[in-house]
Amino acid sequence: MDIRSIIDSLPSLRLTVDTKGLLAKKSLGQNFLLDKNITDKIISLTLKHLHLGSFAGAHVFEVGPGPGGLTRSVLQAEPARLTVIELDERCIDIMHDIKSKTGDILEIINQDALTYDFAFAENLPKHIISNLPYNISVPLLTKWLYGIKAYRSLTLMFQKEVADRILAPIHRKDYGRLSVLAQLQCKITRLFDLNPECFTPAPKVWSSVLLFEPLPQTLTPDEIRSVEKMTSLTFSMRRKMIRQSLKQFPDLDSVCRTIGIAPTMRPEEITPEQFLQLARLLAKEK
């Protein structure tokens, strides 16, 4: 029996949840996605944008698989390996039920995803696909942005307001540190939005699925740290001119002239590329 048929033969997600008595835990940021039409759409749109027919020959990672809805859709896209990272022991049991049918293609890691090393060296292209636990979505994305060259793509679900911050252009009130870091490292595509009723239990907010593809030229970890420091300083005082928020740098005026910005500008007026230039030049002046 092929992998697609194996997945089709599994009990329904609703039956799995009911049988296991699986209730989402707010403390773990859980909202379960049980509609296979939606999880299949996440995979099909990811593959379409990446110009792939499947995940054949690739290693896919999933954080917080829960009852395994997205897990099933990933497996049907035929990855060479699928590694799921799950903290909840109840969900680990469900993953073992799936593994008993699919075999060694599925690897199960019972660990906090924030402490797991996703970027270890291997020959297979890596993809991360996840309905992220809301309470750790931004720290996880930041971690992956630091090592973005290790991945072929990230397909991640966020609260819509977080996705809006990631995609925000300059001159928008939600443009900030996360916008700058993400846009310097990746081409980002909003695949689609989901209303709260798609989830069990229904959250109070909409969600968005974003696809991240590393840019041809990405920043080094040191450059990211410099940009992160620069954006933290400026956006913590976002209503003030950068002359005020960056007053610790004595050569700020001359550096601003070099890159064509004014020290009287506010951070929401500065593009990600200009933030990078600013961070590089100010680092040299230290």
> Cβ–Cβ contacts within 10 Å for residue 250, how many?
8
**Cα–Cα dist 253/231, whole Å:** 17
DSSP 267: G
Query: Looking at residue 27, what is its pLDDT?
Result: 61
Confidence of residue 125 (pLDDT cuts 50, 70, 90): very high
Query: Looking at residue 91, what is its pLDDT?
Result: 87
Query: Looking at residue 32, what is its pLDDT?
Result: 78
**232 residue type, one letter:** S
Residue 9 CA neighbour count, 13 Å, CB half: 11
* pTM of the predicted protein model: 0.93
Is the Cβ–Cβ distance between 224 and 275 less than 8 Å?
no
Confidence of residue 10 (pLDDT cuts 50, 70, 90): confident
Is the pLDDT at 22 greater than 90, yes or no?
A: no
**Cα–Cα dist 259/278, whole Å:** 7
Query: Looking at residue 189, what is its pLDDT?
Result: 98
| Region 228-243 average pLDDT | 94
State pLDDT tens for residues 27-86: 655 677 878 999 999 999 999 999 999 999 999 999 999 889 999 999 999 999 999 999
Confidence of residue 122 (pLDDT cuts 50, 70, 90): very high
CATH 3.40.50.150 in the chain: give the residue spans: 3-214
**Cα–Cα dist 264/270, whole Å:** 11
Is the domain spanning 221-285 CATH 1.10.8.100? The answer is yes
Residue 132 CA neighbour count, 13 Å, CB half: 26
- Homologous superfamily of 3-214 in CATH? Vaccinia Virus protein VP39 (3.40.50.150)
CATH 1.10.8.100 in the chain: give the residue spans: 221-285
State pLDDT tens for residues 185-214: 999 999 999 998 888 777 788 999 999 999
Q: Is the dihedral of CA 216, 220, 223, 224 positive or negative?
A: positive
Is the Cβ–Cβ distance between 40 and 192 less than 8 Å?
no
CA distances from 156 to 80, 129, 137, 185, 206 (A): 20, 6, 9, 15, 14
Q: Rounded to the nearest 5 degrees, what angle is found at the Cα of 215, between the Cα atoms of 42 and 180?
A: 90
